[in-house]
Structure 1
């Protein structure tokens, strides 16, 4: 499929579509892990007013109330969202619908934040492609060892492969319905591993045959495998966000081990591996990072200074310093686990910019601002403490994760809300 010259679409509509995708994913997860979901559901933080009690009663059985309070749309968009909820089974009477919609529009209005473009000396070019299946909502990208680009077609229940040389796509339908493929990792043999976020398993796909091997979670509460990563020994680790767990799979023995985080509702999210094989992760449900001893699975938590910090994804530089995207506050954070020193910088888009996917190329930090319109790619040089940003031509529609090439010349993105993938080519000096 040829690259697209995108016409800028409404980012607000893209965000609404992603809200509905998240809603449907939550409902699917509930079917697999209702007890775990309710155990993790936070107390209501909704403002007072007509409609609050209705929402608390009708919505909490399908998704956490934080999914509501973190959103923001105009009245017409909220009406579309509520209509979809009713279609999916929310118990609202015709008289209650306008009350709920008015409440949501008044308390959670459209919070669109315009992108801030920061000029600089580095040059990049961005090229985008639409994936073959409409409505796939690619979630995560992965640059495989053979140079192929993979993505999870979360809503289409497919794994996608893209050849950058021929610009041809190939999609692999998953055998288990509504798997919700989410995160990606490649092993040394070229197999592509993925987390089935809606179906309680981790999958291994052989690109040569298309065969998928499923590793089903041994605990019924472990319903939502999330972000996977291989350590230096070829052991796969993965987070389970709502289940509040970390998982480990030994591909040689097929053994699966799960541990529960010590702090309830931590919502473990992004992961990286240090030079000594230590596993580091974000606790998106609080202001914490954590590390895992790969030999004992012992977990140590690091509390970040600001209670409002919500680290979502994480990167690591060659000196084993951790960098994280503070999604809630609009900050880029740095944490040195050796010294405990913490530093942070306001992201160019400020509050509401929602920094998300992040990676390190050498000492340089690259990440996406997913809450601005259009989404941006951000470059940060720790040596100069200078930012540079580039708008994504299509708008991006929430860039959730990024994946660099081994030589650092490119970064690949999944542009969920516009149903595509993108390549950021970095001009080398």
Structure 2
């Protein structure tokens, strides 16, 4: 089994001293729909309002609803729980006590310092301690592609890792790299010494105790976190189905889960008909007939799932498919993750025939390893776009002519991952290694880059709200979702209340604009399905 690019280190557990007060008054209000409304203020120990704090109400079912306090520390939190809930306020470095929501309100939640605030600081700030260089980019793409690099990985048994301990970590990573994804020019001893030289007690002391939050921009947003049916599932991809349910791939269990946001119920579907080979379910997409298509890299196949009956059909494709999209004829296109030179495939759904196409290649030298075809999209002009994560390229394959074109991204080693097509036909690509996103003009192929504000935020996936054109990006290493105005490039960062919250993929509800993602770090943290609702 390939579970590459992870460090298996013990997570840091912590307790925090805190306090909470409740002003006496009426019970929580309700809006016209009957939803309870909790109001109050987050303050520090001097009584001053705390802006940009997370305020979380936890239902008896375990569902958690979180809002942000405004510039004065005030908050309004809608909850839908019929049973008892608890209320908690916290920031990266401070927390209140968790208290039951009973009679009384509005609430005043007083936050006090956590015992170890750096344990709650996302990877992006730790990685920013490393010099901005090609070496940092290489480290991010090779060692942070599946999990965070933060306190629990930098500090072991209370001691900052030295070169020998970094060598141990890299040896562990090598031991699970079954597919040889780490390139030959990644020299472990050099990287171990480099990491030990820059991640030191002295540099760690410069880290901020609090992550910055733009309270004015995020106030009014609501984050809801739902448990998943099984621990350690690695929820990899997700999509909103025609029935409004959220369909999620459980990478480690070869299952698809369908979640009903109205009832909170899950249905489970087994999608690997091979008992001997781990399927490694990744990308998924519905066709116009309501059938769900899924890639299984481990069995080198596509699977069609009928949601109504739960039956599946398996189609071998002769490659490790990483991503998929469906063209105007209903045929399924995939890219070959391990191909060198690069290639893509098409499954003709009416006949089951598979066509393989060699596409324009980056021709990486041996020492640079595999190009790693990654994301795939089909634009309105009938071009199949594939990003090559390690080759720093885009490929545009014209379906009608069979011709392909190679486009090298303007900044070296930018790490293009999962792109999306905008309503105007433009291709938007996340640069995982740089903290930028890039727009490729559909006519001129000119590339314009947009800075998300933090070079180490780890943009992984992009989805676009087709109603508004708003660009949504997963900040895998900043534990956040980022909204970008496609006209101005202005970015708003919505940080998650849970750390680590390594997010991979996004699904947008076409009806109401809700943004869905999942916490998906490897090694496994507690996985969650997450909804962000913005005003």
CA distance in 1, matches of 2:190, 2:484: 42
Is 2:354 the counterpart of 1:256?
Answer: yes
**1:5 positional shift:** 6.0
Show the counterpart of 1:353: 457
Native 8 Å contact 1:75 1:101 kept in 2: no
**1:394 positional shift:** 2.2
TM-score by length of 1: 0.75
> Higher relative contact order at CA 8 Å, sep ≥6: structure 1 or structure 2?
1
**1:86 positional shift:** 9.2
Show the counterpart of 2:335: 239
Q: Kindly tell me the number of residue pairs found equivalent between the two proteins.
A: 368
Q: Aligned in 2, Cα 1:121/1:411: closer, same or farther, shift over 3 Å?
A: closer
**Alignment counterpart, residue 326 of structure 2, candidates 230, 246, 256:** 230
**1:321 positional shift:** 1.5
CA distance in 1, matches of 2:198, 2:332: 39
Is 2:471 the counterpart of 1:370?
Answer: no
Show the counterpart of 2:43: none
Show the counterpart of 2:532: 424
CA distance in 1, matches of 2:480, 2:438: 18
Query: Which protein has the larger Cα radius of gyration, Structure 1 or Structure 2?
Result: 2
Deviation string for 1:354-411 (max 9, x for gaps)? 1111111132211111112xx1111111333321111122236321110111235211
**Alignment counterpart, residue 409 of structure 1, candidates 495, 499, 513:** 513
1:166-245 aligned within 5 A? 166-173=263-270, 174-176=272-274, 177-218=277-318, 222=319, 224-243=320-339, 244-245=342-343
Native 8 Å contact 1:75 1:105 kept in 2: no
Show the counterpart of 1:67: 142
CA distance in 1, matches of 2:418, 2:480: 16
Q: Aligned in 2, Cα 1:121/1:164: closer, same or farther, shift over 3 Å?
A: closer
Is 2:230 the counterpart of 1:133?
Answer: yes
Show the counterpart of 2:196: 106
Show the counterpart of 1:42: none
Native 8 Å contact 1:14 1:397 kept in 2: no
Give secondary structure in 2 for the equivalent of 1:269: strand
Q: Aligned in 2, Cα 1:182/1:14: closer, same or farther, shift over 3 Å?
A: farther
Show the counterpart of 2:262: 165
Q: Aligned in 2, Cα 1:65/1:261: closer, same or farther, shift over 3 Å?
A: farther
**1:14 positional shift:** 10
Deviation string for 1:185-228 (max 9, x for gaps)? 1112222111112221111122223222211133xxx2x21111
**1:179 positional shift:** 0.6
CA distance in 2, matches of 1:317, 1:69: 28
CA distance in 1, matches of 2:533, 2:383: 31
1:391-410 aligned within 5 A? 391-395=495-499, 397-410=501-514
Question: Cα RMSD (Å) of the superposition?
Answer: 3.6
CA distance in 2, matches of 1:191, 1:140: 16
**1:253 positional shift:** 0.8
CA distance in 2, matches of 1:303, 1:191: 35
Show the counterpart of 1:305: 410
Q: Aligned in 2, Cα 1:394/1:2: closer, same or farther, shift over 3 Å?
A: same
Q: Which runs of 5+ in 1 are unaligned?
A: 16-44, 48-63, 91-98
Give secondary structure in 2 for the equivalent of 1:312: coil
Structure (1/2) with the larger helix percentage: 1
Show the counterpart of 2:34: none
CA distance in 1, matches of 2:287, 2:407: 29
Give secondary structure in 2 for the equivalent of 1:412: strand
Q: Aligned in 2, Cα 1:187/1:80: closer, same or farther, shift over 3 Å?
A: farther
**1:83 positional shift:** 8.2
Q: Which runs of 5+ in 2 are unaligned?
A: 1-60, 67-87, 93-118, 125-133, 179-188, 364-369
Is 2:434 the counterpart of 1:329?
Answer: yes
Native 8 Å contact 1:228 1:271 kept in 2: yes
CA distance in 2, matches of 1:12, 1:260: 44
Native 8 Å contact 1:286 1:309 kept in 2: no
CA distance in 2, matches of 1:287, 1:86: 23
**1:46 positional shift:** 8.7
Native 8 Å contact 1:4 1:130 kept in 2: no
Give secondary structure in 1 for the equivalent of 2:506: strand
Deviation string for 1:292-339 (max 9, x for gaps)? 212243221222222232211212222112211111111121121312
1:31-70 aligned within 5 A? 67-68=142-143
TM-score by length of 2: 0.61
